[in-house]
Amino acid sequence: MSQATNQSWGGRFSEPTDAFVARFTASVSFDQRLAAQDIQGSIAHATMLARVGVLSDEERDAIIDGLTEIQGEITRGEFEWSVPLEDVHMNIEARLTQKIGITGKKLHTGRSRNDQIATDIRLFMRDAIDSIDAELTRLREGMIGLAEREADTIMPGFTHLQTAQPVTFGHHLLAWQEMLARDHERLFDTRKRVNVMPLGAAALAGTTYPIDRHVTAELLGFSLPAENSLDAVSDRDFAIEFASFASILLMHLSRMSEELVLWTSAQFDFIDLPDRFCTGSSIMPQKKNPDVPELVRGKTGRVYGHLMSLLTLMKSQPLAYNKDNQEDKEPLFDTVDTVLDCLKAFADMVPAIEPKKESMFEAARRGFSTATDLADYLVRKGVAFRDAHEIVGQSVAFGLKEKKDLSEMTLEELQQFSDTIEADVFDVLTLEGSVAARNHIGGTAPDQVRAAASRALEALKAHREAQ
């Protein structure tokens, strides 16, 4: 092979590729990550070619044996990747030809790098999605388990980050869980569109060989061959869908992270994170920083960036394949890695959260969190809601002046604002009474939280089994 003219397409060229251009256009530095999928796809392609009579059985076997050996070389780190050979496809094919001679050059019959790369990425994405599914499941199971254990733990619920009404910590965790359940559905949904096979589209128009795309699809576990050859080589919707799944997931993880960071602060003091998830400060000896949730919160930005890169990459591209598409890999790979790392961090950390129950309870007790309960109490006794709102507002103003929560006031003090208030008011002014009263599906009552946790676990199991 000439130094800088690529052997697989150098035929019509009269001068070698400029050295910078060779480096600029090469993708092998990052697409070598697709080697296993590339080999898997090539083995299926060769098997199909032999089945339809384009390759002999001997040729097929030589190709499969050669590729299997190459896979071993790559796994052992012995494979020498070459930049002049441009990409993962031509590196592997060149090595195959080196090993088995002319038969290696037959592997590319009825195929193009355009349908080959589209197939490789889809195989890679399918594996990635399955790994993400496993981590997401582990995280959801851990979260549901913690919610169940903390079904009776009372904390303040917030709106506008101001104490609103008491909720149970279990209920809060199940709210997180709902976010993740939707993410999980989006992941499974994306997988359906990932699992379609481009192979056979060749460069863009299909191929003149009598290929059987159903055979290849079946060998590779794809649900079906892509319907249109032009679309098959150019479509990267699945990558954008995956990046949007990832962006929404990271948005959720960033919200959880933000709460964890707040809760570990001395000002909130709601939870402790075990030391193994935190780091210290080199200057302030007292510090224990919640680095893991902070970093997850920070990584959200790069994932949003990848979504924007992919959307912009595909914008205005004419059919069919364009070299632009080579730019899809790095954002995709980094999205996969980031999602897997963040999910692992959360799946390890969430079950280890140590709630500081007294501190949470105390915070819920401050801030008049049962004010709505008092209003509802008055309404049940026949007061119109707007009037009840006004009465409670006056009681709160009194409490602020006297530094007393509603439940700490005497009956006489409360009765200054309404003579409808009777001794039974204290049943609703306690935090336990307040949460227990929200006893309907979706409510924060401990019994509802326990029921919701077991439904969530069932739904998780059923959903995964249905895939």
Which residues lie near ligand ARG (CB under 6 A)?
A: 27, 31, 87, 113-114, 117, 323, 325-326
Question: Considering Cα of 439, then 441, then 446, then 451, what sign does the dihedral take?
Answer: positive
The vertex-343 CA angle with 341 and 349, nearest 5°, equals 100
How many other C-beta atoms can be found within 10 angstroms of the C-beta atom of residue 74?
Answer: 20
Residue 15: CA count within 13 A, CB half-sphere: 3
In this structure, the chain runs to a length of 467
Q: Please return the burial class of 248, using the count of CB atoms within 10 Å of its CB with bins 0-12, 13-18 and 19+.
A: middle
Residue with tokens 């598409």: 325
**Residue closer to ligand ARG, measured from CB, 114 or 434:** 114
**Residue closer to ligand ARG, measured from CB, 116 or 434:** 116
Question: Least distance from C-beta 92 to ligand ARG, angstroms?
Answer: 13
**Residue closer to ligand ARG, measured from CB, 113 or 299:** 113
Question: Least distance from C-beta 331 to ligand ARG, angstroms?
Answer: 13
Beta bridge partners of 157: 165
**Residue closer to ligand ARG, measured from CB, 27 or 444:** 27
Amino acid at 441: I
Check if the beta carbon of residue 37 is closer than 8 Å to that of residue 220. no
**Residue closer to ligand ARG, measured from CB, 87 or 141:** 87
Residues 333, 217: Cα–Cα separation, whole Å: 24
Question: Least distance from C-beta 160 to ligand ARG, angstroms?
Answer: 48
**Residue closer to ligand ARG, measured from CB, 277 or 321:** 321
Residue 334: CA count within 13 A, CB half-sphere: 17
Question: Least distance from C-beta 72 to ligand ARG, angstroms?
Answer: 24
**Residue closer to ligand ARG, measured from CB, 326 or 444:** 326
**Residue closer to ligand ARG, measured from CB, 323 or 440:** 323
Q: Which residues does the annotation mark as catalytic? A: 160, 281
Question: Least distance from C-beta 347 to ligand ARG, angstroms?
Answer: 32
Question: Least distance from C-beta 197 to ligand ARG, angstroms?
Answer: 17
**Residue closer to ligand ARG, measured from CB, 59 or 87:** 87
How many other C-beta atoms can be found within 10 angstroms of the C-beta atom of residue 397?
Answer: 11
Question: Least distance from C-beta 31 to ligand ARG, angstroms?
Answer: 6
Question: Least distance from C-beta 320 to ligand ARG, angstroms?
Answer: 11
Question: Least distance from C-beta 121 to ligand ARG, angstroms?
Answer: 8
User: How far, CA to CA in Å, does 186 sit from each of 91, 133, 236, 341, 459?
Assistant: 36, 11, 17, 19, 15
How many other C-beta atoms can be found within 10 angstroms of the C-beta atom of residue 15?
Answer: 7
